[in-house]
């Protein structure tokens, strides 16, 4: 049981190993507070378990929290109100950064691109959007009366060297879907990462905008890798000799 350590349940070696790197950092965070009803440790644990749970809704998750993990003191209002707390959000961002900084050396050990000299010094990231369905009990905005809800979209990036997942942006307010390029333009400052050699971004076909890519390459040192759309007619300019990269792609 992952949540036993913060809810006075019997200790378990798996949950200790899984949660201790996160919970050990809480006491040193600047945005933590003493909340007897739902401590910051409990809040972070429940949120982490929520991302791993198979339940499709928050209410279903809380019911399973009681039925499976015997956690009786977390009410629906506590959990959902805590999710709206700006302080809790700031704490989650702070502890995420602290967790990344503390374990960066371990993440770098598994760099799959370390043996490719042509990529040395370049950050490599992949990005995409993820949409969630609205719950049936969500309140409707009167302005959108008679129109169906569209899923709330979140955009994420993953560092392909370290496999660290990063949040990029929210796709508006859930009233309509937003094209990937609209979000990429809005977060263009976040695309420039790493040292002076710049970064490589991998995106699916929805991220194709050659004019945007060219500007990013010239002004920020950001290169994009994607797949061609069926209606595109590229012109071949030449071949780039990169033996080690070719071997890696063949493998």
Q: Which two tokens stand for residue 111?
A: 């760099």
User: Does 71 have pLDDT greater than 80?
Assistant: no
| Integer CA distances (angstroms), 37 to 63, 73, 92, 118, 233, in order | 18, 8, 18, 54, 61
Give yes or no: residues 59 and 152 share one domain.
no
- Residues 134 and 39 grouped into a single domain: no
pLDDT band at 136, cuts 50/70/90? low
Q: Mean pLDDT across the stretch 86-113?
A: 84
119 and 15 within one domain: no
In sequence order, the 6+-apart residues with CB closer than 8 A to the CB of 169 are 154, 155, 183, 186, 187
In a domain, 248, yes or no: no
Residue 204 within any structural domain of the chain = yes
Query: pTM here?
Result: 0.70
Highest-confidence range of 103-107, 138-142, 218-222, 235-239, by mean pLDDT? 218-222
Asked if the structure places residue 209 within a domain, the reply is: yes
Residues 79-106 as b or e (16 or more Cβ within 10 Å = b): beebeeeeebeebbebbbebeeeeeeee
Percent of the chain residues past pLDDT 90, beyond the cut: 0
Residue 134 has a pLDDT of 64
Is residue 180 in a domain? yes
Check residue 28 and report its DSSP letter.
Answer: G
**In this model, does residue 112 exceed pLDDT 60?**
yes
Which pair of tokens denotes residue 105?
């050396």
pLDDT in tens, 156-171: 888 888 888 888 888 7
| Domain count for the chain | 2
Looking at residue 26, what is its pLDDT?
Answer: 84
Tokens of 172: 């508006």
The dihedral through the CA atoms of 116, 117, 119, 121 has a sign that is positive
């Amino acid at each position: 049981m992952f949540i036993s350590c913060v809810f006075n349940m019997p200790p378990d070696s798996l949950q200790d190993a899984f949660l201790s790197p996160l919970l050990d950092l809480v006491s040193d965070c600047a945005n933590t507070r003493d909340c007897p009803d739902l401590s910051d440790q409990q809040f972070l644990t429940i949120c982490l378990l929520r991302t791993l749970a198979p339940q499709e809704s928050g209410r279903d998750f809380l019911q399973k929290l009681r039925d499976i993990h015997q956690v009786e003191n977390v009410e629906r209002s506590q959990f959902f109100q805590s999710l709206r707390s700006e302080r809790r959000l700031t704490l989650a961002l702070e502890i995420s950064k602290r967790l990344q900084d503390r374990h960066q050396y371990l993440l770098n050990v598994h760099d799959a691109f370390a043996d490719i000299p042509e990529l040395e010094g370049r950050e490599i990231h992949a990005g995409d959007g993820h949409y969630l369905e609205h719950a049936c009990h969500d309140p409707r905005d009167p302005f959108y009366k008679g129109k169906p809800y569209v899923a709330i979209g979140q955009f994420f990036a993953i560092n392909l060297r370290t496999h660290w997942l990063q949040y990029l942006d929210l796709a508006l307010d859930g009233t309509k879907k937003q094209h990937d390029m609209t979000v990429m333009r809005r977060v263009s400052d976040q695309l420039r990462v790493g040292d002076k050699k710049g970064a490589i971004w991998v995106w699916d076909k929805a991220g194709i905008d050659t004019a945007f890519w060219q500007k990013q390459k010239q002004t920020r040192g950001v290169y994009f890798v994607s797949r061609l759309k069926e209606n595109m007619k590229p012109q071949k300019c030449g071949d780039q000799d990169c033996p080690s990269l070719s071997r890696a792609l063949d493998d």
